[in-house]
Structure 1
Amino acid sequence: MAGTAVTTAWSVTMTGEQWTALRDHLFPGDGDEHGAVLRCGIARGPRGNRLLVKDLALAKDGVDYVRGDRGYRKLTAQFVADNIDVCADEHLAYLAVHNHGGRDSVAFSGTDMASHDRGYPALLDINDGVPVGALVFASGAVAGDLWLENGERAEIAHLRVVGRPRVDLTPQPAPAAVADPGFDRQTRIFGDRGQAVLAASKVAVVGLGGAGSVISEYLALLGVGELVLIDPDRIDQTNLPRVVGARRTDALTWLRDEKRPAFVRAIGDGFAKHKVYIARRVAREASAAVQVTAVPRSVLDPDVARMLLDCDHIFLAADSALVRRLVNSITHQYLIPSTQVGAKVSVLDGAVTDVFSVSRMSAPGSGCLQCNGLIPAWKLTEEATSPEQRKRQRYIDDEDVHAPSVITLNAVAASRAVDDWLMAIGGLVEPDVSRDHWVSYYPMSDDVVETEPAKRPGCLHCGAGRFARGDAVPLPVVPRPADV
């Protein structure tokens, strides 16, 4: 099969837990060669196509990985057949894996490439055109060869481990350009290479209210290259003390004053600035280089939800069960880490009973928001009904009663969320830290509570039916009568 180069980039994404298992298998300290197979879902997007590692099959030395006929070692025919059959049944991509010596650079040998030429056309046929290929690892590098339908062939030039810390492997180190001097204080922490990682990052913020507006500004100031900002709401007078960069002119307060006639207030309501446009303005003032996509719509609209699928991280700052369910599913289905951020003040009979800020950073494959009771079924049902139905189901008409809030609580949650993400991608997380980091701060008692999220077997959000399936499984987007 003659391979022709394609321009679309391919990469591999795996979880920290998977990487630990694979690395320990390939590099146990004996200096020898070892093998495995990765079975992967597929996600196609404008920034390239990703192979999402769903299952890791480690080849047992001397049983599944044996002395080769033409090369040093090989996977046995039975091991290959068993794994390609699973891939064909589940429409997964197939990647054979082995390791070479060395550390920071690696490439396939001529013997490796000849074996691909002999075997991969048949495997591609068995897999009904779903990609098949191989990865070769050094201890700090990876190279890949991928066979596609229609006679196409592509290199896999990047593997990302979405853990804490995040790990990015390439065939050889890429030189980092000298960072903008304006980031001098940051590069003293992360180096020029770290600043380049920030500049290459695409990050989404869902919900641009009190917490989301702070997060968006922080990301722009840090030098993140691309922001996707999603929120259907417009600014109003009650938001002004909490939304970063909001102006009274944005809210059209003189038109929306309660003393104005209803038709005048309606004009003000319809022409007040969307929160995403305020956040875009603030981000551009903070960074001349940032690219901002501002979307004044609900993230539950299918085409808007798809904008999240090639982001590197998602900050969820919207207090909606339907939106939590969507982002939660994307995290595990597309292996995109996310952080749920918020603050809450509870009041009973006019007295403040509880105050807290939360930052919940979730890694793919870990215990999810659903597993931990943070997406209640009653709230999903309520949000999926029309506003009129919701009012009829309540004993009092409290549709316009808003919870107490203050910007400092949002800033605490936002700072912790962005810090956790920054340390992870900057490689400054200690090796033994939890891959999930859920932190709650209670200022009334000055308590900081760290929680290890539970994982429930058979969960429909992070379990086998959705995990790493990428484009093969529909997203839980349920358009509703009112914006979320």
Structure 2
Amino acid sequence: MKAQSRLVLTDVIHTSLREHLFPGDGKEAAAILICTRSPGSDLKLLSKKLILVPHNECSVRTPDTITWPGEYLEMAIDDASPQSLSIILVHSHPGGLFDFSWVDDASDANTMVSLRQGVETLHGSAIMVPGGAIRARVYHSDRTVEEIAMVTLSGDDIQYWPAQSAMRKPTMAFTSDMSATLSQLTAAVIGVSGTGSIVAEQLTRLGFNRIILVDHDHVEEKNLNRILNSTVADAKSRRAKVDMFADMIRRIRGADIAQPINASIFSREAVLAVANADVLFSCVDTHQGRMVCDLIASSFLTPLFDVGVKIPTRLSPAGLRKIHDVQGRVDYVKPGGSTLRDRKIFTPESLYAEALLNTDADAHRHQVARGYIAGIQEEAPSVITLNMRAASACVNEFIARAFPFREESNANYAQTTFTLSGCLEEFEAERSFEKDSNPQLAKGSEEPLLGLPGLGEP
């Protein structure tokens, strides 16, 4: 499969970059991105730090050219050297040219040699046009130039700027143009069971270029009622869920779309595979699984959509168990924004309790008791309708971000919860969550992966 190179920006860095590069005087301006790299097999540059070159320190600034002091290159080299990070030189094209000019080519020919002498790794350049779209390229050691296939911005809205075509009008949701954009993207689905199989089905038919499936479990008869495409034959042969679903994708879309990973997300194999993804769907049912997905989103600047359902019960005055509510939740986590941990979707206490539970001899009984229907020993809960509702909301949340159609800002919908018993849907805005410091942000391939000793190099 053809490699899909990426340059990924957070909305904080992109906003600062755009404001600096277009101060309103119609002249070019410059800045420098310091980037880590994803550990996956594809080239994925992750914006970690932004250095702004002051306008008044540039010796030349016109609508078509800029000359800026070398001390800022030295500053970037000093920042990048300790970890051999990549340096991307960015300047504006106020006139709107979405291409590199001959002046840019000549400047890079000299500058890239100096950067490589300072830090022996991959460096590059980029241009931004007034609408905020970015086009980027990198230079290899043999001086060959590779155009970055797509620059992405993961903010309240998710923006994709493919090379050559970023100047088109915005893509409308639910159209064939949307399908054309999705055909260039990789999605990862973590947990291919109740909600995960439904999410994966939708992504398959929406036309994603590649779908990474991660699950360590096998098909059982008790879950045939809620895992799409699973059969009695799969259950009898204890077939891996990811292999079963990958076969379905091949039948629908052909080869080279599905990438099954029959392993826990808490494994080096799975993390390395998911590092390549453009979007991450967390469909797990454990606190540890959500923690790892949260760390992946931060470390590799991957937009994360987390979905969950539950059916709390209560005792009636007569002592009968009754359904108290039927609930679903979808969280969108933008890199650099509030995390699942910030939102208390999992906590240190819940992680500890889960770990303790898994070492107990009665773990299975307790797992069932805290499953879909709280307080009831139900091995095969008939919850596919609830899962369908939640999974559809999860994928529609992605579409709303990547191809905006809401009447209000997407910033108002960081978390969506619904109750079927009360026929209500409620929303929490990004600003309503307290955001803690995030030392894992854009860590990329730094070992141990995700900052977890258990995922270090063998």
Please, what TM-score do these two structures have when normalized by structure 1? 0.79
1:293 aligned residue (253, 256, 259): 259
Q: Distance in 1 between matches of 2:206 and 2:4?
A: 27
Counterpart of 2:338 in structure 1 is: 367
CA distance in 1: counterparts of 2:185 and 2:200, whole angstroms: 13
Tell me the residue number matched to 1:456. 435
1:354 is aligned, of 325, 328, 334, to 325
Structure 1: tracts of 5 or more residues without a match: 1-6, 177-186, 253-270
1:119 positional shift: 3.3
Compute the displacement of 1:367 (Å).
0.4
The equivalences for 1:99-138 within 5 A come to 99-103=92-96, 105-110=98-103, 112-127=104-119, 129-138=120-129
Q: Is the 8 A contact 2:412 2:429 kept in 1?
A: no
Q: Mean Cα displacement is larger for which, 287-296 or 372-381?
A: 287-296
**3-state SS, counterpart of residue 361 of structure 1:** strand
Cα contact 1:10–1:154 (8 A) shared by 2: no
Q: Once the 2 structures are TM-superposed, how far is the Cα of residue 106 of structure 1 from its aligned partner?
A: 1.7
Q: Distance in 1 between matches of 2:413 and 2:82?
A: 32
Contact 1:93 1:132 in 2 (8 A): yes
Aligned-partner Cα distance in 2 for 1:399–1:165: 37
Q: CA separation of 1:429/1:168 partners in 2, compared to 1, >3 Å: closer, same or farther?
A: farther
Counterpart of 2:230 in structure 1: which amino acid?
A: A
Distance 1:399 1:428, change over 3 A: closer
1:378 matched residue in structure 2:
349
Q: CA deviation at 1:435?
A: 8.0
TM alignment of 1:155-166, pairs within 5 A: 155-166=147-158
- Figure out how many residues of one structure are paired with residues of the other and give that number: 433
Matches within 5 A, 1:247-326: 247-252=231-236, 271-288=237-254, 291-326=257-292
2-structure distance, mates of 1:475, 1:437: 27
Residue matched to 2:191 = 207
**1:212–1:91 distance in 2 versus 1, CA, 3 Å:** same
Q: 1:227·1:291 contact (CA, 8 Å) conserved in 2?
A: yes
Match of 2:417 in 1: 440
State the SS of the aligned residue for 1:415.
helix
Q: Supply the distance in 1 between the matched residues of 2:423 and 2:413 (Cα, whole angstroms).
A: 22
- AA in 1 matched with 2:429: E
User: Is residue 419 from structure 1 mapped to residue 396 from structure 2 by the alignment?
Assistant: yes
- Seen in structure 2, the aligned counterparts of structure 1 residues 431 and 39 have a Cα distance that, compared at 3 Å, is farther
Deviates more, 1:97-106 or 1:31-40: 97-106
Aligned 1:29-108 pairs, distance under 5 A? 29-46=24-41, 48-63=42-57, 65-67=58-60, 72-103=65-96, 105-108=98-101
Give the one of 287, 305, 316 matched to 1:339.
305
| Residues 244 and 104 of structure 1: CA distance in aligned 2, closer, same or farther (over 3 Å) | farther
- Partners of 1:103 and 1:432 lie apart in 2 by 26
Cα distance, 1:72–1:214 mapped onto 2, change above 3 Å: closer
1:409 aligns with 2:386: yes
Query: Mean alpha-carbon deviation: is it higher for 195-204 or for 400-409?
Result: 400-409
Report whether the alignment pairs 1:390 with 2:374: no
Whether the 8 Å contact between 1:234 and 1:275 is mirrored in structure 2 is yes
Instruction: Tell me the residue number matched to 1:265.
Output: none
Q: C-alpha displacement at 1:36, in angstroms?
A: 1.1
Change (3 A) 1:90 1:432: farther
The one-letter amino acid paired with 2:326 is V
Instruction: Encode CA deviations 1:299-351: one digit per residue, 9 max, x unaligned.
Output: 21211221101011111111112211111111111111111111001123323
Q: Distance in 2 between matches of 1:310 and 1:108?
A: 31
Q: Using the TM superposition, give the Cα deviation of residue 274 of structure 1 relative to its aligned residue in structure 2, in angstroms.
A: 3.0
Contact kept, 8 Å, 1:9 with 1:49, in 2: the verdict is yes
Report the more deviating stretch, 433-442 or 140-149. Answer: 140-149
8 Å CA contact 1:333, 1:467 repeated in 2? yes
Q: Taking structure 1 as reference, are residues 410 and 150 closer, same or farther at Cα in structure 2, changes over 3 Å only?
A: same
Is 1:196 matched with 2:180?
Answer: yes
Shift of 1:14: 0.5
- Give the corresponding residue for 1:169: 161
Kept after mapping to 2: 8 A contact 1:147/1:154: yes
Percent identity of the aligned residues?
23
* 8 Å CA contact retained: 1:33, 1:73: yes
Following the alignment from structure 2 to structure 1, what is the Cα–Cα distance between the partners of residues 349 and 26?
Answer: 56
CA drift of 1:8 comes to 7.0
Secondary structure of residue in 2 paired with 1:467: coil
Q: 3-state DSSP class of the match of 2:312? A: strand
C-alpha distance after superposition, 1:268-320 (max 9, x if no partner):
xxx33333344334434544577222333222121122110101111111111
SS of the residue corresponding to residue 224 of structure 2 reads coil
Shift of 1:101: 3.4
Q: Distance in 1 between matches of 2:408 and 2:88?
A: 27
- Alpha-carbon distance between aligned partners in 2 of 1:277 and 1:156, rounded to the nearest angstrom: 32
Q: 1:327 aligns with which of 293, 304, 307?
A: 293
Change in 2 beyond 3 A, CA 1:430/1:475: farther
The answer as to whether partners of 2:186 and 2:210 remain within 8 angstroms in 1 is yes
Counterparts of 1:408 and 1:9, CA distance in 2? 36
Asked if structure 1 preserves the Cα contact closer than 8 Å seen for 2:147 and 2:163, the reply is no
The answer to whether the 8 A contact 2:263-2:269 is kept is no
Change in Cα spacing, 1:293 to 1:347, as seen in structure 2 (3 Å) is same
Match of 1:20 in 2: 15
**TM-score calculated relative to the size of structure 2:** 0.83
Q: Residues 377-411 of structure 1, C-alpha deviation per residue, up to 9 Å, x if partnerless?
A: 23323444684x3237x8x9535544325122211
Amino acid at match of 2:277: C
Counterpart code for 1:301: S
CA contact (8 A) 1:368 1:455 kept: no
Which residue identity is paired with 1:116? Answer: D
Counterpart amino acid of 2:436? P
Q: Secondary structure at the match of 2:47?
A: strand
CA shift, 1:35, in A, is: 1.3
Query: How far 1:120 sits from its partner (Å)?
Result: 3.0
Please, what is the CA RMSD of the aligned residues?
A: 3.2
Bigger CA drift: 318-327 or 9-18? Answer: 9-18
- List gaps (5 residues or longer) in structure 2: 316-320, 374-380
